[in-house]
């Protein structure tokens, strides 16, 4: 293994924390872009809204992984919060892309975060990276998010967009909210349960990001989802099986819309997304099935 210097934004989030830990455990040097005044040798200052990056800290980096962005499910989607979601992604990505493009010796790859929200509601139809964008706020946000990385690609840097699905983890993300409910016997399907959830175990998410860094043939959109998406009804049954708890309390769609507002469309929509790029390049999932992914997270 050849040690690399790799820069990461969003290093305190669910995925970023796990990625930094994984990279360092294998001997790579990781520098973290932070929005506060740097207080440690591994920290680089940046301000995504002002689109400022201390490029001196990026010198020598062979890869940059850009994961920063306001949490999709952290608040109701008011107009003000939708602007924060958009600015944190679009302005931040533009800042990173322009910073790496300006370097005399730029990194060989930029892995920029994105999401399967790009595809909108796909119903029962399976989609891969060749599918066009869907409709709605998340789809338009993902389009703008990915377009903001253009300066890096135009500078000849291999640029990949990690379109991540629902990450199965207890520590954070949407799934973290499910574990305590199901452990308390309060879990149940959401709406009619027929909507597809394209999931990925946190272990496989990190492994896939590292695979994209290392695989020269991968560029453009790459779906980070397990090979076989499942319906919410199947997720509910799997949570019940793995955690040995009943799942008897379905949450009707009107109640979800009342509680979550516009965010409910993300919970109730169906996204049957398959990882064609990863599979074609030879990536092997450690936890391809939903029971396996939930079991790994529950340990």
Does 126 have pLDDT greater than 80?
yes
Q: Rounded to an integer, what distance in angstroms lies between the CA atom of residue 208 and that of residue 195?
A: 25
Q: Which residues on adjacent β-strands are paired with residue 7?
A: 31, 64
Entry pTM: 0.95
Q: What pLDDT score does 1 carry?
A: 61
238: containing domain: 5-298
Mean pLDDT, rounded, for 55-61: 96
Per-residue pLDDT band at 132 (split at 50, 70, 90): very high
Q: What pLDDT score does 95 carry?
A: 97
Summarised one tens digit per residue, pLDDT across range 8-40 is 999 999 999 999 999 999 999 999 999 999 999
Q: What pLDDT score does 264 carry?
A: 65
Q: Which residues on adjacent β-strands are paired with residue 160?
A: 111, 220
Q: What pLDDT score does 174 carry?
A: 79
Q: Rounded to an integer, what distance in angstroms lies between the CA atom of residue 38 and that of residue 57?
A: 11
198 near 123, Cβ under 8 Å? no
Q: In what order do the strands lie in the sheet with 158-164?
A: 52-53, 43-47, 29-34, 5-9, 63-66, 109-115, 158-164, 220-224
Q: Which among 191, 180, 282, 182 has a CA at the least distance from the CA of 232?
A: 191
Summarised one tens digit per residue, pLDDT across range 172-187 is 887 888 898 889 888 8
Helix (H) or strand (E) holding 221: strand 220-224
Tokens of 225: 């989802």
Alpha helices in the chain (DSSP H): 14-25, 79-102, 137-147, 150-154, 173-183, 202-214, 232-243, 253-260, 264-268, 276-280, 290-298
Summarised one tens digit per residue, pLDDT across range 230-255 is 999 999 999 999 999 988 888 777 76
Helix axes of 202-214 and 14-25: crossing angle, nearest 10 degrees: 60
Does 261 have pLDDT greater than 90?
no
Summarised one tens digit per residue, pLDDT across range 168-223 is 999 888 788 889 888 988 888 988 899 999 999 999 999 999 999 999 999 999 99
Q: Which residues on adjacent β-strands are paired with residue 201?
A: 168
Number of domains within the chain: 1
Q: Rounded to an integer, what distance in angstroms lies between the CA atom of residue 235 and that of residue 163?
A: 21
Task: State the CATH number of the domain containing residue 70.
Answer: 3.40.50.720
List the single range of 76-80, 111-115, 200-204, 293-297 with lowest mean pLDDT.
Answer: 76-80
Q: How many CB atoms lie within 10 A of CB 65?
A: 29
109 near 63, Cβ under 8 Å? yes
Per-residue pLDDT band at 72 (split at 50, 70, 90): confident
Q: What pLDDT score does 266 carry?
A: 66
Per-residue pLDDT band at 259 (split at 50, 70, 90): low
């Amino acid at each position: 293994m050849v040690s690399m210097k790799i820069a990461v934004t969003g290093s305190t989030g669910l995925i970023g924390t796990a990625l930094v830990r994984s990279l360092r455990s294998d001997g790579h040097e990781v520098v973290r872009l932070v929005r506060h005044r740097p207080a440690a040798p591994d920290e680089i200052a940046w301000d995504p809204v002002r689109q400022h990056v201390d490029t001196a800290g990026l010198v020598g980096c062979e890869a940059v992984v850009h994961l920063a962005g306001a949490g999709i499910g952290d608040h109701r989607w008011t107009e003000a919060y939708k602007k924060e979601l958009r600015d944190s992604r679009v302005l931040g990505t533009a800042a990173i892309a322009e910073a790496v493009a300006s370097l005399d010796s730029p990194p060989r790859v930029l892995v920029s975060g994105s999401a399967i929200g790009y595809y909108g509601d796909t119903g029962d139809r399976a989609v891969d990276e060749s599918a066009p964008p869907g409709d709605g706020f998340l789809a338009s946000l993902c389009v703008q998010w990915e377009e903001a990385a253009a300066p890096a690609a135009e500078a000849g840097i291999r640029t990949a967009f990690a379109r991540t699905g629902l990450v199965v983890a207890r520590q954070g993300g949407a799934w973290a909210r499910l574990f305590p409910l199901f452990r308390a016997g309060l879990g149940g399907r959401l709406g009619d349960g027929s909507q597809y959830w394209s999931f990925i175990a946190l272990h496989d998410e990190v492994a896939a990001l590292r695979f994209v860094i290392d695989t020269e043939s991968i560029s453009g959109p790459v779906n980070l989802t397990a090979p076989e998406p499942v319906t919410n009804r199947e997720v509910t049954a799997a949570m019940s099986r793995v955690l040995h708890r009943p799942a008897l309390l379905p949450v009707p769609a009107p109640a979800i819309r009342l509680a979550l507002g516009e965010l409910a469309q993300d919970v109730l929509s169906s996204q049957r997304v398959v990882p064609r790029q990863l599979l074609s390049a030879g990536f092997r999932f450690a936890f391809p099935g939903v029971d396996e992914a939930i079991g790994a997270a529950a340990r």
